[in-house]
Structure 1
Amino acid sequence: MKNAINTNTNTKLILLHPYIQKQGGSNRLWLLAFISFFTAAFLLTFIYTREHSIIPKTVVTAVSTSSVSSPPLSKTLVKALVHYASRSNDTDGMSYTDIKQISDVLRQCPSPCNFLIFGLTPETLLWQALNQNGRTVFIDENRYYAAYMEEKFPEIEVYDVQYSTKISELKELVTLVRQQVHNECRPVQNLLFSDCKLGLNDLPNQLYELDWDVILVDGPRGYWPEGPGRMSAIFTAGVLARSKKGGNHKTHVLVHDFNREVERVCTDEFLCRENMVKSKDLLGHFVLERMDGSSTQFCRNNYTTKSAASSSSS
């Protein structure tokens, strides 16, 4: 009986074993069929998408480019920004009159507007906001403050630069430029390759290739004899404006603290009174035109140069 039971048990196992194999083979066939279908569908989808994505590539690029540009700020919003910026500024900030003049220039600037600012000031974020769809670049003498501002406000583009000038050297520096105006200190040149004492040649290379529409000189510091002063900034602004390669052939150059000697002398010498549009409160506004590459004179009228010489020698 025991043997019979064992036999029966073995028989059942023998009978069940082929059934299990058959079921496993069927499942594998279904799995293989499913994988094949999924692979074919994926390949067809990939080929279809690739073929149809090549044609509208330019359209996609145009749409993505246009979506980056935002509508210009409304006149009401600009007024509000200027109003509250002037009220919240500390003693080092600009007056409402000065801020509004710069704001008006930016509103007239063709879009996109390239805006270069010498100096990180209480108005830094305001300038960034007002030049909404343009490129705004800040240059500052303090590398630690520049790094701090860039970290705190990643949306701003700021670079540090080392000035080698002193306010006490104003007269000597102006004289040196006059002596080298036909060579290193030409009014039209690429300052990246210049050894002119007043030319800033250690900015990022790309900044020398840009055509700047508006340049604001509000730095570096210039209120004590050993301070760097704004001689280099004003000279550099004048050269960049005259050396434009294309686009709008005019550049607005605005100089803050226009009541001080350095600013007066250097604007007379390198921006020229003949190019002055307005002088109001503490802001001097000049409009410079692109000049021929062979030019060797900053100002057309000699009296401005003589005036600067008498001022610097007094």
Structure 2
Amino acid sequence: MKNNLSNGTKLILLHPYIQKQGGSNRLWLLAIVSFLTMAFLATLIYTRESIATTTTVVATAAAIRPPLSRSVARALVHYSSNSNNTDRMSYTDMNQISEALRQCSQPCNFLVFGLTHETLLWNALNHNGRTVFIDESRYYAAYIEEKYPEVEAYDVQYSTKLSEMPELIAAIKEQEHNECRPVQNLLFSECKLGLNDLPNQLYEVDWDIILVDGPRGYWPEAPGRMAAIFTAAVLARSKKAGSGNPKTHIFVHDFNMKMDRMTSDEFLCRENLVKSKDRMGHFILERMESSSSKFCRSSHTHSSPAEDSAPSS
């Protein structure tokens, strides 16, 4: 409706129906936006819950995977032992470790000193657990990890010499109550035979099985295996009180070598030797109290390896 004013200005009036129609359109627009927003949020929440559920199911399935069957494990050991590599372990030696892995509570934590012909075998046999390799060669550890990404390997620098073994063992005995005690966190240790430059996380792991098959070499200037055996002994005895299994299986390869046998007598102890066959010594160590200051309960003399001692549980 138009009205003419006295000054010639025209006044335009809008009908109330038009104003109501505009307000209604805005309400409809608001309702549609709200609906779409709620639908988007609901979809987002559902998707996140679905992903979380799937991740949990996958993780649970991985955690409860059964161990390798005995027949598969035997086949792997058989073909590994029949290699032409002269540095390989015998079938008997491999089978001792394979059986220990089969009996290990799942998942199994397996620490190996030395990258050897059997590296892929150990990684395969412990397919449910964590297998970590420690080697003295930085380049070889990097090469293995690059070639086999599924292998977890680290290098460590040994500061010992095989020719220094008598002096090193004598020094350890003098410091059993202090820096070289059998229960400690080696990360902060100043003991000459304690390896304190491994990745920090490895000192927090409760190892179920430890294999000492390195470092290489038996000449006077070689590092020898004193530090690896001592470190294995401390890690086994320093398990946390809340860990499920208080025992640790420790295997020492080349146990027929005098130096390795003597070092094992000092730190793994003859009373813990459950089997010695071929070139393998098998010890079972139990967790000790933090106040402990002696590695062995009884005195001992260095002797030749026992013949087929009956294994204990």
- TM-score normalized with structure 1 length: 0.82
Task: Check 1:37–1:133 CA distance in 2 against 1; reply closer, same or farther (3 A cut).
Answer: farther
Q: What are the equivalent positions in structure 2 for 1:249-264 lying under 5 Å apart?
A: 249-264=246-261
| Alignment map for 1:1-314 (pairs within 5 Å) | 43-52=37-46, 59-69=53-63, 70-245=65-240, 246-302=243-299, 304=300, 307-308=301-302
Q: Deviations over 1:174-218 (max 9, x none)?
A: 000001110000000000000000000000000000000000000
Change (3 A) 1:120 1:89: farther
**How many pairs does the alignment contain?**
273
Q: What letter is aligned with 1:46?
A: F
Deviation (angstroms), 1:67: 3.2
TM (norm. structure 2) is 0.82
Structure 2 CA distance for aligned equivalents of residues 194 and 184 of structure 1: 6
Aligned-pair CA distance for 1:39? 7.2
Which amino acid is the alignment partner of residue 297 of structure 2? R
Query: What residue in structure 2 maps to residue 9 of structure 1?
Result: none
Q: Deviations over 1:18-67 (max 9, x none)?
A: xxxxxxxxxxxxxxxxxx99977763442213444676786444312123
Q: Do the aligned partners of 1:167 and 1:222 also contact (CA within 8 Å) in 2?
A: no
Amino acid at match of 2:290: G
1:46-104 CA-partner distances (Å, limit 9, x unpaired): 22134446767864443121233433211111111000000015111100110011101
d(CA) in 2 for partners of 1:272, 1:124: 27
Separation (CA, whole Å) in 1 of partners of 2:297 and 2:126: 32
**Cα distance in 1, alignment partners of residues 244 and 261 from structure 2:** 29
In structure 1, distance between residues paired with 2:32 and 2:142: 53
CA contact under 8 A between 1:250 and 1:290: conserved in structure 2? yes
Percent of residue pairs bearing the same amino acid type:
65
Unaligned runs of 5+ in 2: 1-29, 305-313
Query: For the Cα contact (< 8 Å) 1:222–1:230, is it kept in 2?
Result: no
Q: Do the aligned residues in 1 keep the contact of 2:67 with 2:127 (CA within 8 Å)?
A: yes
What is the one-letter code of the residue matched to 1:48?
Answer: A
Does the 8 A contact of 1:211 with 1:247 survive in 2? no
Deviations 1:114-155 (A, max 9, x none): 000000000000000000110000000000111100100010
Q: Which runs of 5+ in 1 are unaligned?
A: 1-35
- What whole-Å deviation, never above 9, does each CA across 1:236-262 have from its counterpart, x for those lacking one? 000000000022100000000000111
- In structure 1, distance between residues paired with 2:32 and 2:255: 74
> Which segment is superposed worse, 46-55 or 60-69?
46-55
State the Cα deviation string for residues 1-29 of structure 1 (Å, max 9, x = none).
xxxxxxxxxxxxxxxxxxxxxxxxxxxxx
Structure 2 residue matching 1:279: 3-state secondary structure: strand
More helix by share: 1
**Counterpart-to-counterpart distance in 2, 1:206 and 1:167:** 28
